[in-house]
């Protein structure tokens, strides 16, 4: 514990934590252990509960802590809580996994996708235009509302649950959490749309808030070896455009990328960049449509 909290002595540790369990963590992460045991924060069938929280050390470093806890009877103290805690970043520093979700971190994800893509291009049919693996971008719309209502701890728990759902649906695929509430997959194309719809529905059922929904965009990677000069991240940008195109469409959860999406973004950027110049040069003309009151036939606005 002294190493985790960067304290030189036990006295420093007790001064830092005020001798209380709540003092180990950020105030908004505090939940009494009894309440954690009676909620969905652990696996009581295994005799322990899971624990994760954020804290500041004695020297001011910000850390994520995780571990397990359970209640035991001590001959000296009676009923006590036993905690087994580790510095999450330290425990995962030498791995390719992200701390919160346990999925591949972004760097490892893109590295593996690039390696897989290179291998697939070498074995692709000569006349193949598209690869049989697709980049997928997923976004959980309005997820910040979930964090505001339930707190960061529950938000992280939900992100881990979503990671588990994705791994269950695509067990042999590459999966990462890009940032916040955004995920990326590199998965086989066969039956992909149906699987993604099922995953989106499963996530929505887990969240159980109608204004928070999972959306997915599917991109395409060219099979031609000459396409290797394009950064692999470009294809996930395309998948993001497809995902963004249905953010406000309650009837759709999955969209495919097409070039018109890229053109619409290009057009929008061009308009924004040139609007002031167009106004100055008189290229934009304003026309007013009159509003007439039907009962009197008189002009009343425009």
Helix (H) or strand (E) holding 80: strand 78-87
Number of other residues whose CB lies within 10 A of the CB of residue 294: 6
What is the band of 185 on the pLDDT scale with cuts at 50, 70, 90?
very high
Instruction: Give 15's pLDDT tier (boundaries 50, 70, 90).
Output: very high
Q: Residue 182: how many CB atoms within 10 A of its CB? A: 16
How many C-beta neighbours within 10 Å does residue 92 have?
Answer: 17
Phi, psi values for residue 161, rounded to 5°: -65, -40
pTM: 0.59
pLDDT grade, residue 263 (50/70/90)? confident
Q: What are the pLDDT digits (tens) for 279-289?
A: 899 998 889 99
How do residues 56-110 score in pLDDT, each as one tens digit?
888 877 788 888 888 888 888 898 998 888 886 665 545 677 767 778 888 889 9
Statement: residue 46 has pLDDT above 50: no
* Residue 44: per-residue pLDDT: 44
């Amino acid at each position: 514990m002294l190493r985790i909290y960067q304290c030189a002595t036990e006295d420093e540790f007790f001064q830092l934590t005020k001798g209380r369990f709540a003092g180990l963590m950020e105030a908004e992460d505090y939940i009494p252990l009894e309440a954690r045991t009676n909620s969905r924060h652990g696996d009581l069938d295994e005799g322990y509960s899971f624990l994760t929280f954020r804290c500041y050390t004695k020297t001011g470093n910000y850390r994520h802590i995780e571990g397990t806890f359970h209640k035991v009877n001590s001959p000296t103290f009676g009923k006590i809580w036993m905690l087994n805690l580790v510095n999450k970043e330290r425990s995962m520093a030498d791995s390719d996994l992200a701390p919160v979700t346990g999925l591949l971190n972004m760097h490892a994800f893109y590295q593996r996708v690039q390696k897989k893509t290179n291998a697939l291009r070498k074995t692709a049919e000569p006349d193949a235009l598209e690869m049989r693996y697709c980049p997928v971008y997923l976004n959980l719309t309005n997820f910040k509302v979930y964090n505001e209502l339930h707190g960061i701890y529950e938000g992280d728990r939900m992100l881990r649950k979503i990671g588990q759902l994705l791994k269950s649906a695509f067990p042999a695929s590459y999966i990462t959490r890009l940032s916040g509430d955004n995920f990326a997959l590199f998965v086989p194309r066969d039956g992909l749309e149906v699987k993604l719809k099922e995953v989106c529905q499963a996530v929505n059922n887990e969240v159980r808030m109608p204004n928070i929904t999972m959306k997915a965009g599917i991109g395409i990677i060219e099979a031609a070896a000459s396409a290797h000069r394009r950064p692999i991240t470009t294809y996930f940008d395309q998948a993001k455009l497809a995902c963004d195109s249905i953010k406000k469409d309650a009837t759709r959860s999955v969209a495919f990328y097409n070039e018109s999406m890229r053109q619409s973004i290009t057009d929008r950027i061009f308009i924004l960049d040139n609007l002031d110049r167009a106004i100055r040069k008189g290229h934009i003309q304003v026309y007013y449509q009159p509003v007439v009151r039907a009962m009197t036939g008189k002009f009343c606005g425009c």
